[in-house]
Structure 1
């Protein structure tokens, strides 16, 4: 098995494993921030203030990703899977590029969510199916790129690379 060079894109399987792990981590982030929002606004019903909650969660997730990507280039899940976000030259990314990457990363979900809305689908199964189909199409689209990068990375001129931890020297 060949070891990837530092600037080579990791396999799609590793990136998708990190993607799933990120979902687990984000469940906690969304839960805590949702609780904070409901406590601060004294929200009594889940449908009350739904738009405000969604906007708040969008901002919280943006802060989460932008902060981690600009402070080491790795989220918690990316550290576990030895992945790092860098620019095309291999340098750390700045706040504006991280923000652009966060916004464009919604391309994972936005086409599916728009199609669900336009089709008037409201069942959980239909929404889940559309999201999974959209994610699968987005992953397959990365296979067309020469270095297997996702569309939002191509547009932002960033890349996901393998970042193995440094070997410790024995005393």
Structure 2
């Protein structure tokens, strides 16, 4: 990992959202693969294959299995972020936009626990009308709310000089 250009100033929102846009394409592919696996497992187990129109129920609609599938999907998408953040501090989208997630104290990629907490707070920040992201405009350090709560920050890395 290269050293940050200015670790005291968090990455601007437009860069964060651009990286999120790149990552959303990968998350779409992961979601399709997850859906295929769930469908194959459901078909193999015979779920959702009752005979007769009056007995028809959508696959996984009974017995709380639908909620289990949803939780599994959320955990799968969260694992994408946690894995990349913990290993290198960057997802594919963050790498394209020269962003890196670091622990404020160590200046290194955060632990798996901290990454998991950040992923959960990040989703909540986005779902609540983006309020956690807009917090950045009031933060002297340029952190979003989920950065502040997990003592992490997203920084812009310097351009690599050809040579």
Q: Assess same fold via TM > 0.5.
A: yes
Residue number in structure 2 paired with 1:104: 121
| Counterpart Cα distance in 1 of 2:59 and 2:19 | 30
1:24 aligns with 25
- 1:38 aligns with 39
Which of the two has higher C-alpha Rg? 2
SS in structure 2 of the partner of residue 9 of structure 1: coil
Cα distance, 1:23 vs structure 2: 1.8
Shift of 1:110: 4.2
Q: CA RMSD in A?
A: 2.1
User: What does residue 93 of structure 1 align with?
Assistant: 110
For structure 2, the 5+ residue unaligned runs are: 49-57
Residue 140 of structure 2 aligns with which residue?
Answer: 146
> TM-score normalized by structure 1?
0.74
Tell whether 2:60 aligns with 1:59.
no
Mapped to 2, the partners of 1:36 and 1:164 lie a distance apart of 40
Aligned to 1:129: none
One of 73, 90, 105 as aligned partner of 2:89: 73
Aligned partners of 1:83 and 1:163 also within 8 Å: yes
**For 2:159 and 2:76, how far apart are their aligned partners in 1?**
29
Q: Which runs of 5+ in 1 are unaligned?
A: 112-133
Residue deviations 1:41-76 (CA, integer Å, cap 9, x gap):
225546634212211111111221111011111111
**How does the TM-score come out when normalised to structure 2?**
0.77
Q: Distance in 1 between matches of 2:72 and 2:39?
A: 11
Give the paired residue count: 143
Aligned residues of 1:142 and 1:150 also touching (Cα < 8 A): yes
Q: Is the 8 A contact 2:15 2:97 kept in 1?
A: yes
